[in-house]
Chain A
């Protein structure tokens, strides 16, 4: 009998760290955006209570888990899907694909098209979550970068964009 060596994918520590920090901050920003932006709030209203969504990178993570509690509050549930009830998964095939997506070399839509990102769950909720994600990216990123990340950069008023951006950065940063 021959000997067979088991190969395990190597962790790419720096890329993993970048994604961990990006997804951690974006998860917290989503929670705050649901409080300060009416459109994001409306999107979460269309998602049932007690419903969790995970955006995760295969095979070792990280992940971004957000959900709605029994009483409809939007929560950031951390960077791991372990031991969590996940109702909708948006899965990035590997860390390189995740880097393309989260360094804005391609938009969420193009990631779907190129099968770098796939869904496990109901599509209407995924569509709502993508709209939330797009709105948060518009708040967090300068226009020149956000335009690469979303399909259509929205014509928001400067006041909406700036006040939302300040609130989200401050509150996501200090975690309230």
Chain B
């Protein structure tokens, strides 16, 4: 076990997890002294019938202030500003966010504006700008991936400047996270794969990055094991409600881990590719994950080796010589991406050139690399990566992940 000289762990969010948890929301709101929640969602959540399920579960006991399901997949500052008008006009006093990372992060941004009675979210950009608790906030994730319900960060796009802005504060944490198996039951296979690999990345990076500690490690290892055991089963049997709940729990565990030990180069590059090219976050994570391990291999290969146990199970771990375990871990994750690619009929992208938009056009072009690399060196996650990340380092990983070549580890710059 790795025992750092110093560590911190904070996870004050009340987590309610199970098959029928939504019905407890009225009681939770009462405990938070809230009466008129604004329910936030996106069109996909409504179309999947999930808002209906939430509404049915609470409407007899709660006066809903408003329901707004116009949060786009890649929400931005303008959306947050519009929602603050909706909140104020309807005299709401709490927020219930039902959705994936974009909805949950939008809700965090909205909570800043309405609690601080502000109009310009940029005043609160960066770390530790908030100084007091915000309005009551309940998060109901509908993807088993982002872990946003457990993180003290929000990433919100500024589409005018093609960047993603990070907001970081303990006050962004929701009061309560509701993990209900009904919320992920209808998630299509392709989204299930991408979002679960997002959770996998949270857990893996939290285990190898600089702020790792025994508490975050425990959560990360449990999350990796749960995802590894259940992901392909759920893709093949989408109505496996128990498997869905376990994936959702894994995402929450991974969120708790990375919220405390943070993440590294996989997220550094993923945020930038998302900002520049609009690629969904989970897709970026699954592609960059093996590269992140290869990039940091020379510094943390013992930690990478330890991940083989929760990933592949005790037999594979025991059968693999100690000095081969780290490489086997990377190989296992590449194979998982390949299996997900096959199980989703090719929709789960394995490398950057394979990511297509709805019109079948390539989303990431080599001409984007310069902008991606430049933005990457200003991303906050780079601080936590074991190895330094500069412009050339980002380009090295982007070039390799373009066509799926393993990273040539000899080209990674090391301490001179």
CB distance from B205 to the nearest CB of A (A): 14
Take A119-B127, A120-B127 as given contacts and tell me if A152 and B413 are in contact as well, using a CB distance cutoff of 8 Å: yes
The reply to whether the CB of A145 lies closer than 8 angstroms to some CB of chain B is: no
Contact B416 A155, beta carbon cutoff 8 Å: yes
* Pairwise interchain contact B387-A151, C-beta atoms closer than 8 A: yes
Q: A114-B5, A156-B416 are in contact. List 15 more A-B contacts (CB 8 A).
A: A46-B378, A109-B383, A112-B383, A113-B383, A113-B384, A114-B4, A120-B127, A121-B127, A123-B379, A123-B380, A124-B379, A126-B126, A152-B387, A152-B415, A153-B415
Q: Which residues of B contact A46 (CB under 8 A)?
A: 378
Select which of B126, B210, B388, B414 is within 8 A of A113 by beta carbon. Answer: B210
**B2 adjacent to chain A (CB < 8 Å):** no
Chain B residues with a Cβ closer than 8 Å to the other chain, count: 26
Interface positions, chain B 344-394, Cβ under 8 Å from A, are: 377-380, 382-384, 387-388
- Is the Cβ of A127 less than 8 Å from the Cβ of B127? no
> How far in angstroms is the closest Cβ of chain A from B363?
24
Within B77-133, the residues touching A (CB, 8 Å) are 125-129
Q: Within the complex, what minimum Cβ distance (angstroms) separates B391 from chain A?
A: 10
User: Which residues from chain B contact A156 at a C-beta distance below 8 Å?
Assistant: 416
Closest residue of chain B to A118 (Cβ to Cβ) is: B128
Answer yes or no: B166 CB below 8 A from chain A CBs: yes
Q: A114 CA to B4 CA in the complex, in Å?
A: 9
Assess A113 versus B127: contact at CB under 8 Å? Given A151-B387, A151-B388. Answer: no
How far, in Å, is A70 (CB) from chain B's closest CB? Answer: 21
Is the beta-carbon distance between A153 and B416 smaller than 8 angstroms? yes
Contact A122 B415 (CB under 8 A): no
Residue of A whose beta carbon sits closest to that of B381: A123
Cα distance, A151 to B380, chains bound together (Å): 15
Note all chain B residues with C-beta closer than 8 A to A163: none
CB distance from B75 to the nearest CB of A (A): 19
Contacts A120-B127, A123-B380: A109 and B210 contacting too (C-beta < 8 A)? yes
B378 touching A127, Cβ below 8 Å: yes
Note all chain A residues with C-beta closer than 8 A to B143. Answer: none
Please provide the chain A residues from 72 to 126 with a CB less than 8 Å away from any CB of chain B in the complex: 109-110, 112-115, 118-126
**Residues B129 and A120 in contact, CB atoms below 8 Å apart:** yes
A36 to B129, CA, bound (A): 35
- Can you list 9 A-B pairs, Cβ within 8 angstroms, ordered by A? A46-B378, A113-B210, A118-B128, A119-B128, A120-B127, A126-B126, A130-B383, A152-B387, A155-B416
Interface size class of A (residues with CB under 8 A): 20 to 34
Residues on the A chain within 8 Å of B378, using CB: 46, 123-125, 127-128
B382, A127: Cβ atoms closer than 8 Å: yes
Q: A147 on the interface (CB 8 Å rule)?
A: yes
Interchain nearest-CB distance for B385 vs A (Å): 9
Q: What residue of chain A has the Cβ atom nearest to residue B7's Cβ? A: A114
The CB with the most chain A CB atoms within 10 A, among B5, B383, B384, B387, is that of: B383
Whole-angstrom distance from the CB of B216 to the nearest CB of chain A?
12
Closest to B126 in A: A122
A154 CB within 8 Å of chain B: yes
Bound form: Cα–Cα A119–B166 in Å? 13
B124-164 vs A, CB cutoff 8 Å, 1 = contact: the mask equals 01111100000000000000000000000000000000000
In the complex, which of the residues B126, B127, B384, B388 contacts A152, with contact meaning CB atoms closer than 8 Å? B388
Chain B residues with Cβ below 8 Å from A152 are 387-388, 413-416
Is the beta-carbon distance between B384 and A127 smaller than 8 angstroms?
Answer: no
Known contacts A127-B377, A152-B388: does B210 contact A147 (CB below 8 Å)? Answer: no
Known contacts A123-B379, A152-B415, A155-B416; A113/B387 CB under 8 A: no
Within the assembled complex, what's the spacing in Å between the Cα atoms of A110 and B415? 16
Q: How far is the CB of B303 from chain A (nearest CB, A)?
A: 15
Given contacts A119-B127, A120-B127, A152-B388, contact A127 B415 (CB under 8 A): no
Q: Which of A110, A115, A121, A123 has the most CB of B within 10 A?
A: A123
Is A127 touching B129 in the complex (CB atoms < 8 A)?
no
Residues of the B chain whose Cβ atoms lie less than 8 Å from the Cβ of A112: 383-384
Chain A residues contacting B377 (CB-CB under 8 Å) are: 127, 131
Judge whether A127 and B383 touch: CB under 8 Å: yes
Tell me the nearest residue of chain A to B378, going by C-beta.
A124
Contacts of B379 in A (CB 8 A): 123-124, 127
Verify B413–A155 contact, CB threshold 8 A. yes
